Structures are given as structure tokens and as C-alpha cells.
Amino acid sequence: MHIINLRMREVRKLMELPIESGVLNTEALMLVLKRRSFPDHVERVFKYLDAQEDPVVMSKKLFTVTALNTPNSYQEISELIIPDSIIYVDRSIAGFAMPIVPSHRNLGPIINNPQIPLSTKMFYLQQMGNIIDRVQRVEEVSHRFQFGDLNEFNFIIDADNQLKAIDLDSAYLGVGDPLGMAYYLLKNPYIQSLPEKYKSTVEGVIIPSDNTDLYCYNMILLNAMSKENIYRHSMDTYYRYLDYIHTLGLPDELLESFYLIYIPKDNVNPRNVLEDIDPSLEPYLDFKTFQKRMGK
């Protein structure tokens, strides 16, 4: 790993990384860092965390970043943008830096834009499923990697239209309590009814696992298909919606992955069948169409 020492006066001169409209970033200040000392001569994004002033959070992130930079199979997954530099500001750890992906776009605004065709969204979400699958297939590592807060805003699209995973300093490596609850887990009280499948700490924070990552992924898929935040609805409405879209002729493997979310069996990754979704079904998958059909 690179160790970079800066003075606060240097930090104040750094340019802030432009963030797209619709992308929220409440955790850190993102700065552009240029250093001739980088061996690949690639600019870095400096994730400046000093404002948190939370040594516990910083120590957990430091452990995660350090572990991901030790020789392991995760480094072979080129779609993971792993922070490779620790930044000190005035001799105190202030954050981490990772290579900048040139001309990138954030996936979040694309997934949440109802005007963008479902086929385009599925193209990128299939790539997301492939990344998740590659991570979950890694074996023989000292610490298992979980995305934890897996959501569409933690992925970017590079200039070659390929998806990359970012914000990996917030990943969970199976040691100690997680930093917090994943966005999609936090919004859904019904998963608390499956404590063996979605395990939690004594404080009630759900611990990241393959099942939680796949839960988040399936919710992203459902939200993209329905143009609705499905996790906000009751379990009864959820299953009635699934029964409805089942009549439309969607792939059985895709529907099974959605049904499994509230069942005490392991979640599955339906990435292989996303390309089989008939584009003409898009208006019928809309949650508003479902409500009209149900007389609401």
C-alpha cells in the first residue's frame, strides 16, 4: 500500500471530485489527488474521512483496506476498485485513496430513472450480479469479503461500459461488528422475522453475509423492474406483486430468487436469466400497472 503524508494546507488546495446530480455522498469529502510518486501515474480519489472523528469507524476501515491489499484472490477481480493508499493529514489518518476511473458514471441515477429502458438497466445489473458471484466464489482467504451496504450508488460505469464496485472501505470482512446496516436492510422490517438467515448483533444490526448481499441485489432488480421501492410495501403486497408478474412469463429462476427472500433458504443470484426478460413486458412490470390490475 502507498502511505501518503499531506499537510492541511495541501488538502485545502485539492480539487473536489465532481459528483453527478442525484448521487448523495454524506460520508466523506471526495478529493482529486495527483502525485508523481504513484507507480502507475494514475490520479487517485482521496476519500477524506477526518470529519467523522470516530476512531472506531476509522480503525475498522483501516483493517478492511489493509486486508484487501494483502495478496488475495479479491485483487484478481478487476471490477473491484480497492483503495490502495492510506492518507495521513498532519500525521493523523484522514482517509484512503483509490485509482480514479476516467469518464465514469454512477449507476444509481440510471437505475432510478424511469425514462431509461429496462433493458439498459438489466445490462448493468447483470454485470453487478457477475461481480457478486465472483466475490462469493472466492475460497481460501483469511477473511471473507461481503459488500455489506450493497446498493446501486456504490457501482460506477467506466468508459468501456463496464461496471466497477466502489466504496470498498465500508465492506465487511467477518471480524467484529459491522459498521452499520445496509440501506436496503435498514428499510425492511420483515427480514427480522428470519434471524437464522439474516443474523444480527446483540444491538440488532444485521451482519453482512452472502444472503444479505443477495437480498440487496434482488431488491435492486425488483425496484428497477417495478419502478417502485418494493421494500416499502407489506409482505402481502410483495407476494401479490410476485404472483402478478409470474403470470407475465418471466423466467422461473428469476421469480424463484424473489420468492426466496422471505423463506428460510439461501438466497440465489439470478444474473444468468436477466437477458431473457422480454423488453415488451416493461410497461406491465410497472407497479402502477399492477395496482390498476388489482383495482387500487
pLDDT in tens, 55-72: 888 888 888 998 888 877
Pick the residue with more confidence: 163 or 203?
Answer: 163
Q: How confident is the model at residue 41 (pLDDT cuts 50, 70, 90)?
A: low
Question: What pLDDT score was predicted for residue 30?
Answer: 87
**For the domain 2-99, what is the CATH code?**
3.30.200
Class of domain 105-293: mainly alpha
Full strand arrangement of the beta sheet holding 163-165: 105-106, 155-157, 163-165
- What is the pLDDT at residue 220? 96
**pLDDT confidence tier of residue 38, bands split at 50, 70 and 90:** low
User: Residue 73: its pLDDT value, please?
Assistant: 80
Q: What band does 27 get if pLDDT is binned at 50, 70 and 90? A: low
Q: Is the pLDDT of residue 143 over 90?
A: no
- The domain locations on the chain are 2-99, 105-293
pLDDT value at 87 more than 60? yes
Average pLDDT, the chain: 89
| DSSP H or E segment with residue 105 | strand 105-106
| Most distant pair of Cα atoms in the chain: their distance | 64
pLDDT at 264: 93
Enumerate residues 6+ apart whose C-beta is below 8 A from 158: 101, 102, 103, 104, 164
Q: Provide mean pLDDT across the span 132-161.
A: 90
Inform me whether the pLDDT recorded for 21 exceeds 90: no
Average pLDDT of the segment spanning 266-281: 96
pLDDT computed for residue 20 by the predictor = 75
Q: Is 91 left (phi over 0), alpha (psi -120 to 50) or beta?
A: left
Query: pTM of the predicted model, to two decimals?
Result: 0.92
Q: What is the pLDDT of residue 175?
A: 82
Residue 152 dihedral angles phi and psi, to the nearest 5°: -65, -25
* Residues 33 and 143: beta-carbon distance below 8 Å: no
